[in-house]
């Protein structure tokens, strides 16, 4: 199933049933797996044989769905996690430890910013945040001898800044470290970061991939292209024996294609247990089957809504990368030629109070912290997802205090626009 177009991979990737086997992916709702002898099971523990023994580490249903996402991104190996947060945590913690440093775009999801700047800082991992449109000199100056990775989002949630993936990949590689891209908003339907030099991709599958607001989840995909052994001094976790795993050296045993995901599974999933339920993986797969069809409608609705808002005199500003004249329009044309996503950010004239009035009058769009769902939803990040940030951090993340994030669902664009119009009219 490697060489089909993205739409075919969305529907059929990851699973090819044999004769008489279920057409839909089976939900293997089992914590454990049976073996006849201790010896056979021991081989699994030693990573000498492939197979399942305990669903905290790996489960067949979850692996089937991970394999589909792996094909969609064009990667070499992938794993599901219980949330986007755990995917991003694992992706960085698999490379960096106490005393290490990471360069990250400042335009990232609020939860990711908190994970990096607060929680992982407590673990002794330091982050330097750079603006996605920083100068080459600023980007260069962010690196240190102990830098272990660069992190950014294809389309930042909710700032909608588009990352110049190629530029960040080149900078990362010049310093011998991989680029990790959170590709949640674009999805592999609209952008495949590996084609632009990214090394590892993460997802909050909770968003468009699931698409129906039914299961929180995450995914990590490895491109298999980063040469760990060539930078063995930086990555002892991958390039020297793991005493907690029978002296295995991941990069030697599993190569560039398998080392990263095997280590993340064997160490991080084993110890942190951020594993998804097989039932959630099944629901995610249902979402993936229509992702390529849904993304078209999300993007068409996003464009229609952005154009309506741009021409409305109650609106102070609109950000949508596909809009002509948008600050990131050129980057969107390069990285997102088929459309960006269904999320539109804008400011309502009259600031916070006007925004509140407007939001109160919306009838179709529900006020939710959720985004990228079949049902249109709307949020004021400064008072919700980003409320832990001060004004300075908000600005750095590209989130002005008056920013409203409007996530176009799959409804008819004309109804969304009429709803927006009546809610804007309610502002005096
Ligand atoms: C929502 C989101 C996350 C966090 O994912 P959860 O599934 O909510 O844990 C991470 N990154 C981006 C870009 C997101 O939108």
Q: Domain spans of the chain?
A: 6-286, 292-425
Average pLDDT score over residue span 152-172:
96
pTM of the complete model: 0.96
pLDDT at residue 363 in the model = 96
- Among 107-111, 115-119, 273-277, the minimum mean pLDDT is found in 107-111
Q: Whose CA is nearest to atom 7 of ligand 1?
A: 84
pLDDT at residue 382 in the model = 77
Pocket-testing residue among 157, 201, 407, ligand 1, by greatest number of atoms within 8 A of Cβ: 157
Q: How many CB atoms lie within 10 A of CB 341?
A: 30
Average pLDDT score over residue span 117-146:
98
- Among 158-167, 189-198, 331-340, 374-383, the minimum mean pLDDT is found in 374-383
Q: Are 218 and 86 in contact (CB under 8 A)?
A: yes
Q: Whose CA is nearest to atom 12 of ligand 1?
A: 109
Q: Which two tokens stand for residue 358?
A: 């407007």
Report the C-alpha gap between 361 and 377 in whole angstroms: 13
pLDDT at residue 385 in the model = 72
Give 89's pLDDT tier (boundaries 50, 70, 90): very high
pLDDT at residue 128 in the model = 98
Give 3's pLDDT tier (boundaries 50, 70, 90): confident
**Percentage, residues of the chain above pLDDT 90:** 85
Report the C-alpha gap between 398 and 110 in whole angstroms: 11
Average pLDDT score over residue span 57-84:
98
Centroid of ligand 1 to alpha carbon of 281 (angstroms): 16
- For residue 315, is pLDDT > 70? yes
Q: Are strands 218-222 and 315-319 parallel, antiparallel or unpaired?
A: unpaired
pLDDT at residue 1 in the model = 53
For 300, counting Cβ atoms within 10 Å of its Cβ (0-12 exposed, 13-18 middle, 19+ buried), the class is middle
The DSSP result for 243-267, as a single string, is GGGTTB-HHHHHHHHHHHHHHIIII
Ligand 1 atom nearest residue 216's Cα: 7
Q: For residue range 324-357, what is the model confidence (pLDDT) as tens digits?
A: 999 999 999 999 999 999 999 999 998 778 888 8
pLDDT at residue 241 in the model = 96
Average pLDDT score over residue span 107-129:
96
Give 7's pLDDT tier (boundaries 50, 70, 90): very high
pLDDT at residue 2 in the model = 60
Centroid of ligand 1 to alpha carbon of 90 (angstroms): 13
pLDDT at residue 47 in the model = 81
The CA-based diameter of the chain, rounded to the nearest angstrom, is 75
Q: Whose CA is nearest to atom 6 of ligand 1?
A: 84
Q: Are strands 343-348 and 403-407 parallel, antiparallel or unpaired?
A: antiparallel
Q: For residue range 9-40, what is the model confidence (pLDDT) as tens digits?
A: 999 999 999 999 999 999 999 999 999 999 98
Phi, psi of 366 (to 5 degrees): -90, 145
User: What would be the CATH architecture of the domain defined by 6-286?
Assistant: 3-Layer(aba) Sandwich (3.40)
- For residue 398, is pLDDT > 80? no
Over the chain, what is the mean pLDDT?
95
Centroid of ligand 1 to alpha carbon of 226 (angstroms): 25
Measured from CB, residues less than 6 Å from any atom of ligand 1 are 83-85, 88, 109, 111-112, 153, 157, 182, 184-185, 204, 206-207, 216, 218
Centroid of ligand 1 to alpha carbon of 218 (angstroms): 8
User: What would be the CATH architecture of the domain defined by 292-425?
Assistant: Alpha-Beta Complex (3.90)
- Among 161-170, 208-217, 267-276, 351-360, the minimum mean pLDDT is found in 351-360
- For residue 259, is pLDDT > 60? yes
């Amino acid at each position: 199933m490697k060489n089909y177009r993205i739409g075919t991979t969305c529907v059929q990737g990851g699973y090819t049933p044999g004769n008489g086997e279920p057409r839909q992916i089976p939900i293997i709702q089992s914590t454990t797996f049976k073996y006849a002898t201790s010896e056979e099971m021991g081989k699994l523990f030693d990573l000498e044989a492939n197979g399942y023994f305990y669903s905290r580490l790996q489960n067949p249903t979850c692996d089937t769905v991970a394999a589909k996402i792996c094909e969609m991104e064009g990667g070499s190996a992938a794993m599901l996690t219980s949330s986007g947060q755990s995917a991003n945590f694992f992706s960085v913690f698999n490379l960096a430890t106490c005393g290490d440093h990471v360069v990250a775009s400042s335009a990232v999801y609020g939860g990711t910013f908190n994970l990096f700047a607060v929680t992982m800082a407590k673990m002794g991992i330091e982050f330097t945040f750079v603006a996605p449109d920083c100068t080459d000199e600023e980007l260069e100056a962010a690196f240190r001898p102990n830098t272990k990775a660069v992190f950014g989002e294809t389309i930042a949630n909710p700032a909608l800044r588009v990352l110049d993936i190629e530029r960040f990949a080149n900078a990362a590689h010049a310093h011998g470290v991989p680029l990790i891209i959170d590709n949640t908003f674009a999805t592999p339907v609209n952008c495949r970061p590996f084609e632009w030099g990214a090394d590892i991709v993460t997802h909050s599958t909770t968003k468009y991939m699931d698409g129906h607001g039914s299961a929180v989840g995450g995914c990590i995909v490895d491109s298999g292209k980063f040469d760990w052994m060539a930078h063995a001094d930086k990555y002892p976790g991958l390039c020297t024996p793991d005493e907690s795993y029978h002296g295995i050296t991941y990069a030697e045993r599993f190569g560039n294609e398998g080392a990263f995901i095997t280590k993340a599974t064997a160490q991080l999933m084993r110890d942190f247990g951020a594993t998804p339920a097989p039932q959630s993986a099944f629901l995610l797969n249902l979402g993936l089957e229509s992702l390529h069809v849904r993304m078209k409608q999300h993007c068409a609705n996003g464009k229609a809504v952005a154009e309506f808002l741009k021409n409305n005199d109650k609106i102070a500003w609109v950000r949508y990368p596909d809009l002509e004249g948008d600050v990131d329009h050129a980057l969107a044309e390069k990285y997102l030629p088929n459309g960006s996503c269904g999320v539109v950010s804008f400011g309502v004239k009259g600031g916070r109070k006007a925004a509140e009035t407007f939001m109160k009058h919306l009838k179709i769009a529900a006020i939710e912290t959720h985004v990228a769902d079949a049902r249109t939803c709307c949020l004021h990040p400064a008072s919700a997802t980003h409320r832990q940030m001060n004004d300075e951090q908000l600005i750095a993340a590209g989130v002005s205090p008056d920013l409203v994030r409007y996530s176009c669902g799959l409804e008819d664009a004309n109804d969304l626009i009429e709803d927006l119009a009546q809610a804007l009219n309610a502002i005096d």
